[in-house]
Amino acid sequence: MRFNHLAIVYSFFILFSSSLLADAINFNLNDRAFFVEYSHLPDESNAVFSGSLLHHADNGDLISARFHIEQNLYDVNKNIIAGIGAKAVAIDANGFDGGALALSAYLKYKIPQNNKLSIASAFDYAPEVVSFIDLEGFFKAEFTIKYQLIDHASAYIGARSVRLDATANNKSTFESGAFFGISIDI
């Protein structure tokens, strides 16, 4: 139990501080991992700030901070939202520690026939040149299907893959598989 106590403290910090600052709380899990994220969406710009923790029972912890700009795609289609930015990642994994500064992008599509249903994909990528300590590369891909249950809460299912390239050409999967979660707008 290397980082578990810190993971729990960080999760409660995100959840309880959100009543003062947050616009959204996102929480998902599967049988071996849980993810919690706080997002702040400023009123007068398209800038989004978020902090998150991905804890895997066997592999350790991944803490990240993300900044990105989002908008409707070309301001033509209100059902397609794109985002692009950067993500700083710190990893405390079994066998190595490290960090990276990743490029981050996502695309979300709201189904026009059912405005409560949406699909989204997100990608984060950091090559060796922006990775440090024991990490030589980072890649995360995620796909979700979300349904808005009530005005400020949604439930979703998805799949995620997080790959780490460590020193000495050691590539490993930090976390992969399906998950389910909830998202609450505050």
Please identify which residue in the block is written with the tokens 């901070």. 65
Q: What is the pLDDT of residue 16?
A: 47
Say if residue 2's pLDDT is above 50: no
Say if residue 10's pLDDT is above 70: no
The dihedral sign for the CA sequence 182, 102, 131, 143 = positive
The domain tally of the chain equals: 1
Alpha helix positions (H), 4-133: 4-21
Task: Give per-residue pLDDT as tens, 102-136.
Answer: 999 999 999 988 889 999 999 999 999 999 998 89
**Which residue type does 157 have?**
I
**Which residue type does 149 have?**
L
Least confident interval from 17-26, 82-91, 132-141, 161-170: 17-26
Q: What is the pLDDT of residue 179?
A: 98
Domain that holds residue 51: 4-185
Tokens of 121: 């994909």
What whole-number percentage of the chain has pLDDT above 90?
60
Distance CA 49, CA 139 (A): 20
Mean pLDDT rounded to a whole number for the chain: 86
Q: What is the pLDDT of residue 113?
A: 87
Task: Give per-residue pLDDT as tens, 55-107.
Answer: 999 999 999 999 999 888 766 677 898 999 999 999 998 777 899 999 999 99
CATH number of the domain where residue 39 is located: 2.40.128
Q: How large is the greatest C-alpha to C-alpha distance in the chain, in angstroms?
A: 50
Note the pTM of the prediction, 2 decimals. Answer: 0.84
Torsion region of 75: left, alpha or beta (phi above 0 gives left; psi -120 to 50 gives alpha): left
